Each structure stands twice: as C-alpha cells, then as structure tokens.
C-alpha cells in the first residue's frame, strides 16, 4: 500500500480492520510492531480570530450558518450533511447525532465511526461560534 501512495495512518487503519475480522473469526494474526506503518501525527493549528473574520466576510448567509455550525459543534462533514432540525434541542442547546437514511443511495449512514457509541447516537453541547 505504501507503493500505492497510502499514508501510514490509512495502512494502519486497514490492517487493524483485517486483524479485527481475523480475531473475530478465531484466527490469530500478528505483525511485529517494527513492521507496522509509521503514523505521522499533524498538529492541528486553529484559525485566528482575524482569519475567521476574513473567512466569514467572504461567505454568503447559508455558508456562514453551515460553517458556524461546524465550529460550534465540532461535527464532521457527514454529521453536518445529515443534520436535521429534529436533532437540535434548542432548550438544552444540544445537537443529537443520529443514524439516518441516505435517500440518494437507499442505505443507512451516520458519519459516525465504529469507535462511537454502539447505538450510533451521541449528543453534544453547541458552542458559541
């Protein structure tokens, strides 16, 4: 996969999925730690207040609402894409992330990885962005 241009994190994730499936089916498989891919962690650099002001100044009203929602909730792309008014509790100022149907492809989606709660639902307080 390295020769195909995949990053170490992608390779590590895919290997862990394979190991998990093997383990679930009673097959022990191990790769020595020194042969596992190197994962390079990039430090997230937040936008400055000035950068955010310039960014929002260039947006139309719909874009401003969408990106303030991103900033205020910390949600991922799919979680914002499938957000619905019924997911927002205005009294408690919380947003509930729930699994939803993708009407375009007739399949269930949530944008939530397997590391989340097993019921594919979580709530978060909305920020003041």
| Per-residue model confidence as pLDDT tens digits over 27-54 | 887 777 777 777 777 788 888 999 999 9
CB within 8 A of 30, min separation 6: which ones? 19
pLDDT digits over 47-77, tens only?
899 999 999 999 999 999 988 988 888 888 8
16/104: higher pLDDT: 16
- Helices marked H in 45-127 — which ranges? 49-57, 61-73, 77-81
Over residues 12-19, mean pLDDT: 83
Statement: the pTM of the whole predicted model exceeds 0.75: no
Strand partners, 121: 98
Q: How far apart are CA 51 and CA 67, in angstroms?
A: 14
């Amino acid at each position: 996969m390295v020769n195909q241009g995949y990053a170490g994190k992608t390779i590590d994730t895919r290997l862990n999925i394979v190991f998990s499936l093997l383990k679930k089916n009673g097959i022990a498989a191990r790769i020595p730690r020194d042969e596992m891919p190197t994962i390079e962690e990039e430090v997230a650099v937040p936008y400055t207040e000035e950068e955010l002001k310039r960014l929002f100044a260039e947006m139309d009203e719909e874009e401003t609402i969408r990106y303030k929602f991103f900033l205020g909730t910390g949600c991922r792309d799919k979680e914002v894409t499938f957000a619905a008014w019924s997911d927002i509790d205005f009294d408690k100022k919380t947003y509930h992330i729930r699994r939803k149907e993708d009407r375009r492809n007739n399949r269930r989606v949530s944008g939530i990885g397997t590391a989340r709660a097993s019921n594919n639902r979580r709530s978060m307080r909305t920020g003041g962005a």
